[in-house]
Chains A and B, each alone.
Chain A
Amino acid sequence: MSAVPLTAYLMLALILFCIGLFGALTKRNAVIVLISIELMLNAVNINLVAFAKYSINPGLTGQIFSLFTITVAAAEAAVGLAILIALYRNRQTVNVDEMDTMKR
């Protein structure tokens, strides 16, 4: 049997999620914020795949669900980047601090 416990995988996912959350909240470049969100989604995928192997009912469901998550993440990245480019064309900035048109 394998020696790596479930907790180790969950810890790795938790650390990556925290790094992604920190990046998404403190970075000022919108591209980096998007990529931090991708990192958070990846951490969630690790959890799904780990539980697919080490849960009470092991099976393929977790892996299939993580495939769907990857698809949605790819779509999100594409749309986010399109919004970013449209915004850059109008405001000449990618700084999230300056994206406050709707607050004024």
Chain B
Amino acid sequence: MTGEMIAFFLLALTAITGGVLLINLTNVVHMVVALIFTFIAIAGIYITLSAEFVAVVQVLIYSGAITIIMLFGIMLTRHQEKEKRAPRLKIILTGLAIGLFFLIMYGKIKDLNFGQQDVELHVDNTKKIGIELYSHYVIPFELTSVLLLVALIGSIILAKRADDEKEAKK
């Protein structure tokens, strides 16, 4: 049992616990808070996979931005105190289908092993990612910025109340 193994098990346990809490809790805000644990544990998993930059981005974007956005979405809409559950039959059928999917995928991945190469992805990780992004992946990178701009403008237009609608409400 090496230290990396122990770290992996603790992080995986935290991540799965957060996910299970997401399914089982009834208060919507508690669900989102449970998911923050999952996101931070996944950032730790990235560090064990020698992807430090992705881990930092994960903490910034997921545990920071997306969770806060979701909390805003919850605060701006009205909710029942307790979440009503779906009909029992639907839960059972969905659970069976997902269990089947899980078993099939498990059968495929349980013997997967490509051996281990001696690579050092963690040395100068951020620097190497930056160089790759601006040389080999520069076109996808620029397209991503266009996508972000479109998403920004689109969500503002979707969420803002139309002016004539406001006049009609008066």
Residues of B whose CB lies within 8 Å of any CB of A are: 1-2, 4-5, 8, 12, 15-16, 19-20, 22-23, 28, 31-32, 35, 38-39, 42, 45-46, 48-51, 53-54, 57-58, 61-62, 65-66, 69-70, 72-74, 76-79, 83-86, 90-91, 94-95, 98, 101-102, 105-106, 109-114, 116-119, 121, 125, 128-129, 132-133, 137, 140, 144, 147-148, 150-152, 154-156, 158-159, 161
Contact = CB atoms under 8 A, between A and B. Distances in A.
Contact of A77 (B15, B20, B66): B66
B118 to A, nearest CB: 8
Contact of B73 (A16, A31, A68): A31
A73 B48 CA distance: 23
27 contacts: A5-B113, A7-B111, A14-B106, A16-B15, A22-B94, A23-B22, A28-B83, A29-B83, A31-B73, A31-B77, A32-B22, A32-B28, A32-B31, A35-B31, A39-B38, A49-B51, A53-B121, A54-B116, A63-B53, A73-B66, A75-B147, A82-B158, A84-B77, A86-B158, A88-B76, A94-B77, A94-B79
A12 interface: yes
Contact of B54 (A25, A54, A63, A94): A63
B112 A74 contact: no
Given A7-B113, A23-B22, A46-B45, A78 B151 contact: yes
A32 B77 CA distance: 13
Contacts of A26: 85-86, 90-91, 94
Main secondary structure of the interface of B (DSSP, over half): helix
B54 A74 contact: no
A54 B114 contact: yes
| For the complex of A and B, 7 pairs with smallest distance between CB atoms | A82-B155, A75-B151, A19-B19, A82-B158, A82-B159, A58-B119, A10-B109
Nearest to B91: A26
Contacts of A1: 116, 118
Nearest to A57: B117
A8 to B, nearest CB: 7
A35 B32 contact: yes
A27 B144 contact: no
A20 B19 CA distance: 8
